[in-house]
Amino acid sequence: MNSEATVGDKDQPEELFEHYRFEADKGQNPLRVDKFLSNFLESTSRNRIQIAAKAGSIHVNEKPVKVNYKVKGGDIVQVVFPHAPREIELIPEDIPVPIVYRDEDVIVVNKPAGLVVHPGYGNYRGTLVNALLYVMQNLPMGSANERPGLVHRLDKNTSGIMVAAGTELAMANLAQQFFDRTTQRQYVAIVWGDVKEDEGTITGHVGRSLKNRKVMSVFPDGEFGKHAVTHYKVLERFGYVTVVACKLETGRTHQIRVHMKYIGHPLFNDAEYGGDRILKGTSFTKYKQFISNCFETCPRHALHAKTLGFTHPSSKEFMEFDSEIPEDMSAIIEKFRTYTHNR
Catalytic residues: 155
- Residue from 120, 132, 124 nearest 96 by CA: 132
Cβ neighbour number for residue 289 with a 10 Å cutoff: 10
- The SS3 of residue 199 is strand
Whether the Cβ atoms of residue 311 and residue 163 lie closer than 8 Å to each other: no
What are the φ/ψ torsions at residue 185 (nearest 5 degrees)? Answer: -130, 125
Provide the β-strand partners of residue 10: none
Q: Where are the beta strands (DSSP E) in the chain?
A: 17-23, 31-32, 58-60, 63-64, 70-71, 76-81, 99-102, 106-111, 159-165, 184-192, 199-203, 205-208, 216-219, 229-237, 241-248, 303-311, 318-322
Residue 17 DSSP class: E
